[in-house]
Amino acid sequence: MPETLDYASIFNILPEQYVVFDPKDRDFVMVAASNEYLHITGKRRKDVIGKKLFDVFPDTSELAVKTGQGELSKSLEAVLRTHEPDSTGLIRYDLADKTGDMQVRFWRATHYPIIKGGKCVAIIQSTADVTELVKSNEQLKLANLKLEEAMVTGLIGSWSWDIQKDVVTADKGLANLFGVSQSKALEGLPLKTFIDSIYKEDRTHVSALIEETLKNGKDFESEYRTIDSEGNIRWVIARGRVERNAEGAAVQFPGVMIDISSRKHAEEKLKDSEERLRFMADTMPQLVWITRPDGYHEYYNRHWYEYTGTQEGDTDGEGWNNLFHADDQAEARKTWLKSLKTGEPYEMKYRLYNAKTNQYRWVIGRALPYKNDKNEIVKWYGTCTDIDDSIKEIEKRKKLETQLQLEKERLESRVAERTSQLKLTNEGLRDEIKKRQDVEQKLRQYGDELKRSNKELEEFAYVSSHDLQEPLRKIQAFGDLLVSEYSEGLGDGNEYLSRIQSSASRMSKLIEDLLAFSRVTTKPAVTSNVDLNEVLADTTADIEERIKREHGKVVIKSTLPVVCADETHMRQLFQNVISNALKFHAPDRDPVIEIDYTSDDKYHKISVKDNGIGIDDKYQQKIFAVFQRLHAKQAFEGTGIGLAVCKKIVERYNGNIEVTSKLNKGTIFTVNLPKGD
């Protein structure tokens, strides 16, 4: 009979790394290991047999630290669950070499179940060391990265800095840019040699950026000046990255460099040209603007901001359209989009808001496309010219012409009447002829006066449309003048005049609210420690008469905090919220407004509770929008901007405002302001 085979010995001498686990209780105790496994891991047999896998080889991977279970553990669990072989992904597990230094090692493991009686009684692990393959792939990636950088950016110089030895090796192109010997650059020079060749004013910045890159590991990129081999100043852009060893220490810093001197010189010339253009535009009496090919407004001259009362940046993009009269906005936008689509010159008359007069004035807007050598539109250059006074003079002239025509018709009627009378008597005829001659003389004088007036008006219209920018007379002033001088003759017109004055007043209030809304974000906040108790007391005093008029009551249930804010903003906030509660009180009960305070770790929480008419759930997120009204203006006064102002104020301090409400029960506004500075 043949001798019994020693399977344990056969297993031990297998040329691969094998280890067998006992899956009982999921401890994965190692019960057998091949000699190759012990050799590659540097362990003795007594160090592993009978020991739990993760006691001998703790799983310190990032995944295990974050989730409590690494790739190896997941694979073993999968085998127990499915009774099918399972492989791990790439696993990094560093091992010590013969000298005790830790070496970076990468592994792949496959687990095979041993099934007996439908149960997994053992798991065999086959381990492959793929470290050299991973390193080769990393070197290939680096080579490809350098090649790609050279192809994409037009490489003219490259370097590699051995950080630990402080030796920088560079090619001929980079050596020329830094004015150092090409042969010495190829052999390697200290980093300081290259730093000293950087333009003096840029050295500190570049050195600091290098140090920062070594610390944070981010990619290095910088534009700076160097002194080349001929003593010329060159602009360059340098890009590089830090490579680290297994311990995380920075060892290499390779990179590439591009000469961008031509681009920089072109940019400087373009900058000078643009500055001259802007200076000329700012000195022009017209409103000047420039857009991109797609119509995005990117520039306005100084006169535009003075005329409209806006701040720089407010009307970039499509913000300009909001300054047009509401009746002109749709047509202006339609005409502008047509020009953008067809490339045809833009020209249109419309009414534009004028901050100085607080009125809309007629202007004529014109724009022409600027095209490149390929007949492609690269910019639109436009102007707005105030023609409001000219239009008013033209209207005045038309009225005069109408009056003259009526006078002429009356005179002709009188002439006809006199002519028939002249037939009766010679004396009457002579008198009528004399009168007719007088009338004709007067008519000729009127005609001469009209011609002179027309000529002057034409000259005035021309000058006004190009150079004059007279202030707009206020609508209320016109109304007051009509009332004071022509009230008796207006008759029913007084009612229309009253409507005009009322509309002008509402428009003024709307603009004031809009300006208040704008100032919340555009005007710099003057912050200080503000006692909200004092602010609340001042606010309730300001609206005391209104509280009494509504038979209301303001109840302060808690002491309010001191916050770091602009006192004006806090006053606006309280006044708008309390006024809102008074405005929307229930008709069958007196308004009661309760102000309370709580806080948590992050926020001061100030609540304003009322017993008013409440807000439907579907409208609660809409009330903070500008112009949002849930009721007709006849029912409740206001412009629909107050709560939008509140929201803007709170958000300016990184806070938020919440609302909870029930119809016919009341509403609670909660203002959350962050604690701290």
More confident residue, 560 or 480: 560
Last residue of a domain, one of 107, 129, 151: 129
Of 146-155, 356-365, 561-570, the one with minimum mean pLDDT is 146-155
Q: Which two tokens stand for residue 312?
A: 């720089």
pLDDT number for residue 677: 54
Residue 597 forms beta bridges with which residues? 606
**Full residue range of the structural domain in which residue 488 is found:** 480-518
Tell me whether residue 408 is in a domain.
yes
Q: Are residues 240 and 252 in the same domain?
A: yes
Which range has the top average pLDDT, 38-52, 54-68, 334-348, 644-658? 334-348
pLDDT at position 511 = 55
Tell me, yes or no, whether 101 and 142 share the same domain: no
Residue 1 lies in a domain: no
Same domain (yes/no): 532, 637: yes
pLDDT of the residue at 629: 53
- Give per-residue pLDDT as tens, 601-654: 899 999 999 888 888 777 667 777 665 555 444 444 555 677 888 888 888 889
Same domain, 32 and 62: yes
The whole-angstrom distance between residue 78's C-alpha and the CA centroid of its chain comes to 49
Check residue 345 and give its pLDDT. Answer: 92
Q: Does 12 have pLDDT greater than 90? A: no
Say whether both 533 and 655 belong to one domain. yes
Residue 137: band (very low, low, confident or very high) from pLDDT cuts 50, 70, 90 = confident
Residue 528, helix vs strand vs coil: strand
| Domain shared by 500 and 544, yes or no | no
**469 shares its domain with 401:** yes
Residue 410's pLDDT is 85
Q: Which residue has the tokens 């030796």?
A: 167
- One domain for residues 234 and 198: yes
- Specify whether 655 is located in the same domain as 620: yes
Three-state SS across 650-673?
HHHCCCEEEEEEECCCEEEEEEEE
DSSP characters over 553-592: EEEE-SPPPEEEEEHHHHHHHHHHHHHHHHHT--TTS--E
Confidence of residue 458 (pLDDT cuts 50, 70, 90): very low
Q: How confident is the model at residue 518 (pLDDT cuts 50, 70, 90)?
A: low
Domain CATH code at residue 328 = 3.30.450.20
Structural domain ending residue among the three candidates 208, 240, 259: 259
pLDDT at residue 18 is higher than 90: no
171 and 254 share a domain? yes
- Per-residue pLDDT for 168 more than 80? yes
Select from 386, 417, 439 the last residue of a domain: 386
484 plus 559 within the same structural domain: no
List strand residue ranges (DSSP E) for 68-219, in order: 86-87, 91-92, 95-96, 102-103, 106-116, 119-129, 157-162, 167-170
**Burial environment of residue 485 by CB neighbours within 10 A (0 to 12, 13 to 18, 19 or more):** exposed
Asked if residue 185 is part of any domain, the answer here is yes
End-to-end CA distance of the chain: 92
pLDDT band at 166 (very low <50, low <70, confident <90, very high): very high
User: What is the chain's alpha carbon radius of gyration, rounded to the nearest angstrom?
Assistant: 43
Q: What percentage of residues in the chain have a pLDDT greater than 90?
A: 21
Q: Can you give the pLDDT at residue 226?
A: 92
Q: Is the residue at 2 inside a domain?
A: no
pLDDT digits (tens, 9 = 90+) for 224-282: 999 988 888 889 999 999 998 888 888 999 998 888 888 888 777 767 766 676 777 67
Task: Note the pLDDT of residue 152.
Answer: 36
- Band (pLDDT 50/70/90 cuts) for residue 422 is low
Question: 283 and 373 share a domain?
Answer: yes
Q: Give the chain's domain count.
A: 6
Q: Per mean pLDDT, which of 10-19, 107-116, 525-534, 624-633 is the most reliable?
A: 107-116
pLDDT at 277: 65
- Whether the per-residue pLDDT at 283 is higher than 80: the answer is no
